[in-house]
């Protein structure tokens, strides 16, 4: 069964790669990005696959997010916590792109679906606390709209903006988990480079 699943995954990947290899921006691309999402900054790397011609894409990425500063949260009961949350996650992006405009740029938009784990490695390293957030499953949904500029037939630069929400399945009595659940929600900016094959 395991070999069958791996074989099916390889065939689907090859079909995605071969579906559209000739058009500018219509082939598989490696993507490297940095950005902000709410009060968190992030770095990500992954691949973008054209799934239906040049206009619809599927992206698979790994994203590492960290709060821009130490976060302080004051609960409605008056208790407060300060910590530095981090998220390690996988992201599936689905979206669409316009046709090429003057063979130089195109507009695109889509949704990022994130699933990962929140923890506090800096607090653990400095204070020896372990993960203050505890066991959790982090999820998020963000929309984005952007512009991709081709500097070469196989290299592009992009900038997009959007927003959405991030939350956690966690222990609701843990103030660190409650605070971490909303960090990363709000407005976001992302920029990066794609290398097409």
pLDDT band (50, 70, 90) for residue 53? low
pLDDT at 12: 43
Q: What is the mean pLDDT of the chain?
A: 85
**5-14, 29-38, 52-61, 74-83: range with highest mean pLDDT:** 29-38
pLDDT band (50, 70, 90) for residue 20? very low
pLDDT at 131: 87
Q: Number of folded domains in the chain?
A: 1
7 against 95, higher pLDDT: 95
Residue 5 has pLDDT above 50, yes or no: no
pLDDT at 76: 85
Q: Give the residue-averaged pLDDT of 23-42.
A: 87
Q: Which domain CATH number covers 117?
A: 2.40.160.20
Neighbouring-strand partners of residue 118? 87
Domain that holds residue 61: 2-196
Q: Is 181 in a helix, a strand, or coil?
A: helix
pLDDT per position as a tens digit, 162-186: 999 999 988 888 888 888 888 889 9
Burial annotation 2-38 (CB, 10 A radius, 16+ → b, else e): eeeeeeeeeeeeeebeeebeeebbbbbbebebebbbb
Query: For strand 40-52 and strand 56-67, is the pairing parallel, antiparallel, or unpaired?
Result: antiparallel
């Amino acid at each position: 069964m395991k070999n069958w699943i791996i074989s099916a995954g390889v065939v689907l990947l090859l079909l995605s790669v071969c579906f559209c290899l000739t058009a500018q921006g219509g082939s598989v691309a490696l993507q490297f990005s940095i950005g902000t999402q709410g009060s968190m900054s992030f770095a990500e790397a992954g691949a973008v696959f054209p799934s239906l011609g040049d206009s619809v894409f599927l992206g698979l990425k790994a994203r590492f997010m960290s709060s821009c500063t130490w976060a302080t949260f004051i609960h409605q009961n008056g208790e407060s916590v300060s910590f530095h949350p981090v998220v390690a996650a996988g992201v599936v992006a689905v979206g669409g792109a316009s046709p090429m405009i003057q063979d130089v740029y195109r507009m695109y938009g889509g949704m990022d679906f994130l699933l990962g784990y929140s923890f506090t490695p800096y607090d653990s390293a400095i204070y020896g606390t372990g993960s203050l957030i505890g066991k959790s499953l982090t999820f998020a949904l963000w929309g984005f709209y952007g512009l991709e500029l081709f500097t070469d037939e196989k290299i592009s630069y992009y900038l997009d903006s959007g927003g959405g929400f991030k939350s956690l399945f966690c222990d609701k009595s843990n103030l660190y988990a409650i605070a971490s659940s909303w960090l990363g929600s709000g407005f976001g900016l992302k920029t990066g480079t794609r290398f097409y094959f």
